[in-house]
Structure formats: C-alpha cells, structure tokens
C-alpha cells in the first residue's frame, strides 16, 4: 500500500514517538491528522510538518470526540497514544479510577478507533492500522505497572486476532512492540541513571518509524507484531 496521498491519523502525535511517526508519514507523502490532548505539543508537531498536517485537540477517552476524529476516514491509522507506565501508585495500590484510566487509554481507545475506522477503510478499498505496543506486554515477568503491561499485552493479542480483517475488509492490522525508545524524554531518563544501570542503547526513532512504514506498505503482513528490542534487529514475533 502506498503512503503517498493517503490520509493518516496518528494519535498521541504531540511528542515523542507520535511526533516522529507523523513526521515520517508526512515525509512519505501522507496527509497527516495529528491527535492529542497536548495542544501546545500538537502545534509544534504541526509546525514541523507544514501544510501536510492538520491537528485535532481531543481526549482519546472521549468517545464522541474520537468519533468526530475518525470522520476524516483515514486509510492509515496509527494507534500510538498511551502511557501511564511511570505513574505511581500502580495496581493493586492504585484506586480503581486510576488503573481503569490506564486500561481505557492503552486498550479501549485504540480498540474503538479501530472499530470506527473500518467502514471508511473498506469503502476506500482498504487500509492499514498499526498499534503501538510495548515490551512491557511481552513475557511472564513482573512489571511495576501491571495495568499498563496488561493493556499492552492485550493490544498485541488483539492485533493477532484481527489478522482476519485483511480478508473481510482489506484492512491490515499490525503491531509495533518497542522497548525503551530514544525520544527526548527517554534519552533524558536514561542519562539520569547511574552508568552501570543504563543498559544497551535505546531503540532509535528511525527504527520505530521504519517499522510503521513497513507495516503500511507490505501487503503480505497482517495480524503480526514486530519486536524492537534494545541492541537487537527488529523481529516479527507473531502471526
């Protein structure tokens, strides 16, 4: 699937991975719709892209606002928005509203965005949906934020189950699963650690954006997850 000339929605586009993904898709010719609750960050991302960008200020947990966003009928949807892994306290110490909010942002919002995008994509002849998971959702070890890791694990599994949409809707759903990424915040957090605790270099932003582009363009890939581990080559881990 060609990116050039397509409408692409990128959620969480104000900073970090979302900004980098939006910039990459715009550079490859997409008309990018930037969505985030951070209005100032959205303006900065839009300014960095130029005329190919349109920004929408919204809370992704607001169902009506999300429906209005998806009315642009994108052919590309990147469910990048998420977070909460560093918030304290976490489950089980966190109260119900707090851990529920994490599940809503990291799992329910991309599920609803996907559902809302499908009819428009099918009418346009097809589309590509890319979810942003996390290595926090891989494996069976402990994690400081059980609600975050559980939501990301569910998003990866959801992606695999939606491989069937390629046949029914000509829509391919895939998932990029990065470790710690070299965003401005990621690099600052790594630098703040004692040198002995820093570990391998963070996942380059170019590696992440290239994974997104591959999932858009490669029509043989559906229901797959690509693991981007620190210090390792990208690896397709699910089918």
Residues with catalytic annotation? Answer: 148
Residues 128, 219, 4, CA angle at the centre, nearest 5°? 60
End-to-end CA, the chain: 20
Q: Who's near 63: CB < 8 A, 6+ residues apart?
A: 112
CA dihedral in degrees (175, 180, 183, 185; nearest 10)? 130
13 token code pair: 């586009």
Strands 53-57 and 171-178: unpaired
State the DSSP code for 127: E
């Amino acid at each position: 699937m060609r990116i050039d000339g397509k409408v692409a929605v990128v959620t969480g586009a104000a900073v970090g991975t979302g900004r980098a993904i939006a910039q990459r898709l715009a550079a490859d010719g997409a008309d990018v719709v930037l969505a985030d609750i951070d209005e100032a960050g959205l303006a900065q991302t839009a300014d960095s892209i130029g005329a190919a960008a349109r920004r929408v200020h919204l809370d992704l947990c607001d169902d009506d606002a999300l429906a209005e966003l998806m009315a642009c009928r994108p052919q590309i949807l990147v469910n990048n928005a998420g977070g909460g892994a560093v918030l304290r306290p976490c489950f089980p110490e966190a109260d119900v509203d707090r851990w529920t909010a994490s599940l809503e942002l990291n799992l329910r919002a991309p599920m609803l965005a996907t559902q809302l995008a499908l009819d428009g994509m099918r009418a346009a002849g097809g589309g590509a949906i890319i979810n942003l998971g996390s290595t926090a959702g891989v494996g069976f070890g402990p994690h400081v934020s059980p609600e975050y890791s559980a939501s990301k694990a569910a998003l990866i599994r959801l992606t695999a189950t939606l491989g069937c949409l390629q046949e029914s809707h000509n829509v391919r759903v895939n998932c990029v699963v990065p470790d710690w990424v070299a965003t401005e915040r990621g690099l600052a957090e790594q630098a703040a650690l004692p040198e002995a605790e820093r570990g391998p270099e963070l996942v380059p932003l170019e590696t992440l954006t290239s994974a997104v582009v591959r999932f858009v363009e490669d029509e043989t890939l559906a229901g797959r997850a690509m693991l981007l581990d620190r210090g390792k080559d990208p690896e397709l881990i699910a089918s």
